[in-house]
A and B are shown apart, each in its own frame.
Chain A
């Protein structure tokens, strides 16, 4: 067989169809430095009223964290994941939303829910243990606090997408920690959001640790905000302890989502001053000097310095904010010290719209057990005589 006879010899390879990137990634990339407002020239443009409101909420939030932690020591809460040090993210998240918008918090974001107006006691039922969610999510437009990591993010996307399909002007804000960005649901949620151009904002609170695992062991990405580029959405880096900066960046992202611009990934660099929860020993994985350095960059102090420097805050105003926070804590303490009234028969309610035959049988069994118990209470150890 000669070369000429070989089948396909006349074939000349053609170049592949032209490939081009789907969008210019440059505008999607975060700035190399986290965005800051307080202590910079940008602070001059900040609304004094907003700053004062943020300040009051931060002080209240700090006190809330301290009170909730104290309640764990008294056995009133099973556990409390403190957001001390992260109050700027929590508060700015809540204040960046309109009433009609939705918040999808993680288990650490009790404070965001409270700053959004949720009753502090209702916000704590999950952690107290009397019921998983103590509020009607539709009433406050706050999804239940999510314990599994990042699984609430696709919910936020779906809700935002549904609202968009219905023509409603609703934005969803989904909060997640740095550890949560490693979960598969984080990826799927961001991908769905970008493909659907859903009006949703993802806020990663990068507080340095997923329980004990530092960010360096969590990701090899230059920043978590960089991950946005791969999905085709803008990534933004912000100083998470700078309440004015977080509010501005989140506000822009929310506005962008609202006008049909699609999702944004915001990474807020912050620090968890307390341990993961009251059950965690943070000294095993980080040193005092690191914590002290972050204490110097405290969100309340940053804002206080700015406000004082501009003559917007005097000693009386500081005291007033502290007193308001103290009053909130006292009310919370008092209400949490009252034992919740529980009805064990609630166990069988709300499993299904209509109880199944199996559940009716089990409810009858528990009813009988409860009747026997109350009988024992009234007549002594009658049951033993049987």
Chain B
């Protein structure tokens, strides 16, 4: 980042960067419409849409009836007519009533019509735990979305990516499930939306930290955990590389496999359940492509295979630094066997 840009940069939260992304997209393109429950007057329960209704009017930033299938279903019709709806699902588990619209229509309308009817819809889903939410407010639902062809699935971990990825998602002619790690909403960075490197293309992972001993493959809310684990692992003599996927679909095999081939060891880290979760797919892909480079099996550090726990117990469920470091220790495969 140049000195000039650094001077413009000010502390901003991820929520503010997301809001700015929608504001800039709406200002540039009158087809962009924000809609959802509470997104207007209130500015969203996380204030991510704060000020949009005031600036662009209620027709562009619309408080809808409380009905997720209706929100996404009407967005389909709006997209059919040339608009670019950005819908908010408020909380991860609140999105489930909209699943049929997502799976039966949003994901496959382009395919069904041989490209005649693409649906440029962005579905914003605040997801994941760690904020002390009660039941149905902390699910990691990414595996459901990943299993549906036709959807892009992305999740930012930094303030910069929150802006850049959301701009990309809104500009995409395909539907994008945009997973917002809600416990990072208030994470801050010195940031300016004018910074030239602000936009990250969908489908590209990024190496957040270079290292030689092993690769931590992660995304969204687990990225800061892995960064902290990598710092802590230095004391143990482990030089960890951290790959932030940013995009789960499409999956960046190239960046991930290049890293694993360099380090020879990998741990996939995420909050979602391990069984049937994203980590299984990622571990399989890495194993298929990098088998001869691997010094140890690809390990997974995931949430337990349980319904999301009540808030007073969630710290035991969420993969933390210690659990990541334990897995890293287990990567010394030869020593154990």
A residues in contact (CB < 8 Å) with B: 131-133, 136-139, 143-144, 148, 151, 153-163, 165-166, 172, 184-185, 188-189, 191-192, 195, 346, 349-353, 356-358
A interface, by DSSP: helix, strand, loop or mixed?
helix
With both beta carbons as reference points, the residue of chain A lying nearest to B151 in the complex is identified as: A352
Count of residues in B whose CB is under 8 Å from the partner chain? 47
Q: Residue B172 at the A interface, CB < 8 A?
A: yes
Apart from the given pairs A191-B70, A192-B65, A353-B118, 15 other A-B contacts in the complex at a CB distance below 8 Å: A144-B112, A154-B101, A156-B77, A158-B78, A158-B81, A159-B78, A162-B78, A162-B80, A165-B83, A185-B70, A188-B73, A349-B115, A352-B174, A356-B249, A357-B250
**Given A166-B81, A353-B118 in contact, is the A188-B67 Cβ separation under 8 Å?**
yes
Say whether B80 contacts A154, CB under 8 Å: no
**Given A151-B104, A356-B203 in contact, is the A350-B110 Cβ separation under 8 Å?**
yes
Say whether B78 contacts A185, CB under 8 Å: no
Q: Which of B59, B72, B111, B149 contacts A165 (CB 8 A)?
A: B59
Q: Which of B89-121 contact A (CB under 8 A)?
A: 97, 100-101, 104-105, 108-118
Q: Which of B205-220 contact A (CB under 8 A)?
A: none
Q: Residue B75 at the A interface, CB < 8 A?
A: yes
Q: How far is the CB of B125 from chain A (nearest CB, A)?
A: 18
Chain B residues contacting A156 (CB-CB under 8 Å) are: 77
Q: CA A136 – CA B110 in complex, angstroms?
A: 11
With both beta carbons as reference points, the residue of chain B lying nearest to A198 in the complex is identified as: B74
Q: CA A137 – CA B173 in complex, angstroms?
A: 17
Q: CA A112 – CA B275 in complex, angstroms?
A: 47
B residues in contact (CB < 8 Å) with A: 59, 64-65, 67, 69-70, 72-83, 85, 97, 100-101, 104-105, 108-118, 149-150, 152, 172-174, 203, 249-251, 253-254
Say whether A353 contacts B249, CB under 8 Å: no
Say whether B250 contacts A358, CB under 8 Å: yes
Say whether B100 contacts A155, CB under 8 Å: no
Q: CA A166 – CA B76 in complex, angstroms?
A: 16
Q: How far is the CB of B331 from chain A (nearest CB, A)?
A: 27
10 example contacts (A-B, Cβ-Cβ < 8 A) are as follows A137-B113, A138-B116, A154-B72, A155-B73, A162-B80, A188-B65, A349-B115, A350-B110, A350-B111, A357-B251
With both beta carbons as reference points, the residue of chain A lying nearest to B114 in the complex is identified as: A350
Say whether B112 contacts A185, CB under 8 Å: no
Q: How far is the CB of A4 from chain B (nearest CB, A)?
A: 43
Chain A residues contacting B108 (CB-CB under 8 Å) are: 132
Chain B residues contacting A160 (CB-CB under 8 Å) are: 77
Q: How far is the CB of A66 from chain B (nearest CB, A)?
A: 28
Q: How far is the CB of B26 from chain A (nearest CB, A)?
A: 14
Say whether A353 contacts B101, CB under 8 Å: no
Chain A residues contacting B72 (CB-CB under 8 Å) are: 154
Q: CA A154 – CA B101 in complex, angstroms?
A: 9
With both beta carbons as reference points, the residue of chain A lying nearest to B108 in the complex is identified as: A132
